[in-house]
Amino acid sequence: MLDYKKQIIRPFILASLLLSAALAGLLFAAIHLVHISRQAEQTDVLRIEAIKLHKAIVQVETGQRGYLLTQNVRFLENYRKGKADIKRITHTLNAQMIDVPDIKHRFENVSKLVEIKLRVTEASIQTEINSGAYAPHLNSAKIGVNIMDRIDTELEDIDDLLQRRKAELSDASRRALKQTMGGAALLLLTVIGLFTGAYYKTVRLFEIASTSQTTAEEMSHDAYHDSLTGLPNRRYFESYFRRQIFLSKRSGQPFSLFYLDLDGFKEINDRHGHDGGDLALKFATERFKNALRESDFIARLGGDEFVVLVHNYRSVSEIGGLGNRIIRYINQPFTIDGQHQLLGVSIGISCYPMDGQEADELLDAADRAMYQAKKNGKNRLVFSQD
């Protein structure tokens, strides 16, 4: 005789067990995904803050150099702001790195180097105040450069570690997502309504992943481009420059480096303030772009200094023609606050491999030629070998 009660209760109990197991699995997978998402967001925050820290250090260094070169106390405002930003960002990083001891150890090394860098810059400024122009360069220039190189290396290593951590979290997220889908599929066999809810949660997770990817791309762009002009920044230029030297050594193809420094920018900046100076820099950037060819690479090093890498030329006279074209394009009036303004540009040119086969040699040669152009009357170009 059939036990109808047992026949009815047994499937119900089995369905309840399956439902409970599916719910438990789905809940575990969802919690795991949330945990991974938080870790991924923390990794993005760490990368963003590390980039901000580098920018703040560069701001301190730029303020220091500007003051040492011009004795203009306005540069000290950037210097002090950079120091304040470093303190705030360091505090944020310390709080965020509690759960990542391997990266925290590397960051402690960066913090020590930053402390040394700040002491060196502060000492150079105090020496400038007490001892007169250019005195600090005798004591701190080489130390500051070496420390900055070490800081850049440490921050690049930290960024590599964070990228690897983000990749590991992405793999873990994909595995957890598969578990979520499996739980959702099991729920589909028991309760269609719960499966629908799991589906919407999964869609939301994809949206979060897409948003994180967009944030990472924007962060990468900001790290390698100047926020005012949109041009590649010093970090981007140095990487591009090293790659170009490597390629030229293999192919034997020459290239030229233009070191550009605006003439008359300081007067505009003093007369119209930082807003006027920003407008002048944007104007100069557009004129440079219009003068250059598509194959030429231009970057802003900082302040009113720019560099251009010139490829695909047939003769030195063609390089000179391009330099004079840049000068003509920049020598066009523009207005700030209804007043006509005029900029010039002094250009120093070095050529690979005649003026050097390493980045420092070519950059120094172009820099010296640029200062010779200023000495010769400004608004002109000078080749390194002249």
The pLDDT tens digits for 140-170 are 555 556 787 888 887 888 888 878 887 887 8
Least confident of 305-309, 311-315, 325-329: 311-315
Q: Distance (Å, rounded) from C-alpha 162 to C-alpha 47?
A: 7
Backbone angles phi, psi at 123, to 5 degrees: -65, -40
User: For residue 147, is it within any domain?
Assistant: yes
207 and 276 together in one domain: no
Average pLDDT over residues 214-232: 73
Least confident of 209-213, 257-261, 299-303, 317-321: 209-213
Q: Distance (Å, rounded) from C-alpha 261 to C-alpha 266?
A: 11
Interval 274-292: pLDDT, tens = 999 999 999 999 999 999 9
Question: Positive or negative, the Cα torsion across 375, 380, 326, 275?
Answer: positive
Cβ distance 122 to 116 under 8 Å?
Answer: no
Active site residue 304: yes
218 and 279 together in one domain: no
The percentage of residues in the chain with a pLDDT greater than 70, rounded to a whole number, is 81
Interval 129-143: pLDDT, tens = 776 555 545 455 555
Q: 8 pLDDT band (50/70/90 cuts)?
A: low
Average pLDDT over residues 324-336: 94
User: For residue 1, is it within any domain?
Assistant: no
Cβ distance 300 to 233 under 8 Å?
Answer: yes
User: For residue 263, is it within any domain?
Assistant: yes
For the cut 80, the answer to whether the pLDDT of residue 34 exceeds it is no
User: For residue 326, is it within any domain?
Assistant: yes
115 and 162 together in one domain: yes
| Beta-strand runs (E) in the chain | 255-263, 297-302, 305-310, 334-336, 339-341, 344-352, 381-383
For the cut 50, the answer to whether the pLDDT of residue 209 exceeds it is no
51 and 182 together in one domain: yes
329 and 193 together in one domain: no
When the pLDDT of each residue in the chain is averaged and rounded to a whole number, the result is 81
The pTM assigned to this predicted structure is: 0.46
Q: Distance (Å, rounded) from C-alpha 333 to C-alpha 350?
A: 29
30 and 122 together in one domain: yes
Domain that holds residue 239: 234-383
Give the pLDDT score at 205.
42
218 and 313 together in one domain: no
Q: 254 pLDDT band (50/70/90 cuts)?
A: very high
Q: How many domains does the chain have?
A: 2
Least confident of 1-10, 13-22, 244-253, 318-327: 1-10
69 and 199 together in one domain: yes
- How do beta strands 334-336 and 339-341 pair? antiparallel
Backbone angles phi, psi at 297, to 5 degrees: -110, 130
Give the pLDDT score at 15.
65
Give the pLDDT score at 63.
82
* Per annotation, catalytic residue among 304, 337, 360, 367: 304
User: For residue 229, is it within any domain?
Assistant: no
Which residue is listed with tokens 């992943």? Answer: 209
Q: What CATH number does the domain containing 245 carry?
A: 3.30.70.270
For the cut 80, the answer to whether the pLDDT of residue 35 exceeds it is no
Give the pLDDT score at 231.
95
Exposed/middle/buried for residue 251 (C-beta within 10 Å: 0-12, 13-18, 19+)? exposed
Last residue of a domain, one of 158, 190, 224: 224
Least confident of 31-45, 87-101, 202-216: 202-216
Average pLDDT over residues 51-63: 83
Give the pLDDT score at 6.
58
> Which residues does residue 262 pair with via DSSP β-bridges, in sequence order?
345
Q: 79 pLDDT band (50/70/90 cuts)?
A: confident
Token pair of 136 as six digits: 């600090």
> Which residues does residue 305 pair with via DSSP β-bridges, in sequence order?
261, 302
Give the pLDDT score at 162.
79
Give the pLDDT score at 278.
95
Exposed/middle/buried for residue 188 (C-beta within 10 Å: 0-12, 13-18, 19+)? middle
Give the pLDDT score at 261.
97
Spell 96-129 as b/e; 16+ CB within 10 A means b: bbeebeebbebbeebbebbebbbebbeebbebbe
Average pLDDT over residues 365-382: 96
Give the pLDDT score at 144.
57
For the cut 90, the answer to whether the pLDDT of residue 380 exceeds it is yes
Give the pLDDT score at 200.
52
Q: Distance (Å, rounded) from C-alpha 259 to C-alpha 359?
A: 13
Token pair of 353 as six digits: 């491999």
Average pLDDT over residues 186-204: 58
Name the more confident of 38 and 242.
242
294 and 162 together in one domain: no
Picking from 12, 370, 22, 373, the residue whose alpha carbon sits closest to that of residue 180 is 22
User: For residue 216, is it within any domain?
Assistant: yes
Cβ distance 356 to 365 under 8 Å?
Answer: yes
Last residue of a domain, one of 224, 246, 273: 224
